[in-house]
Amino acid sequence: MIADQNSAQKEIRKYLLIFVVLLSLTLMNVFVSRLHLNISLTIIIVLSVAAFEASLVACQLMHLISEEKLIYSFLVLTVIFFVFALFIPLWGIFNPITGSTHVP
């Protein structure tokens, strides 16, 4: 039973540390958004921190860090389709067939 208590205490410490890191990163996002930086730089910083937060949540809280390769392959496939979906409007705007770069 003592071994179970020790492992439970380690898990609790790990989750509390993750909570503190997520809270501090969220506060950092709020702080950066309040600074008077270039809008492009602000977006890059905030999205980078948010991506790190999302990876921390996915790896630790959703236990994806210990999953098998099949899960990772589905995640990579999802990311590829997501990036593809983001660039579909750009392909319509900068159409090489018509040569039009007009944005209505």
Summarised one tens digit per residue, pLDDT across range 7-21 is 888 888 989 999 999
Euclidean distance between CA atoms 79 and 86, whole angstroms: 11
* pLDDT, tens only, 51-104: 899 888 888 877 777 767 777 788 888 889 988 887 777 666 666 666 555 555
d(Cα 91, Cα 70) in Å, to the nearest integer? 31
CA–CA gap between residue 56 and residue 25 (Å, rounded): 11
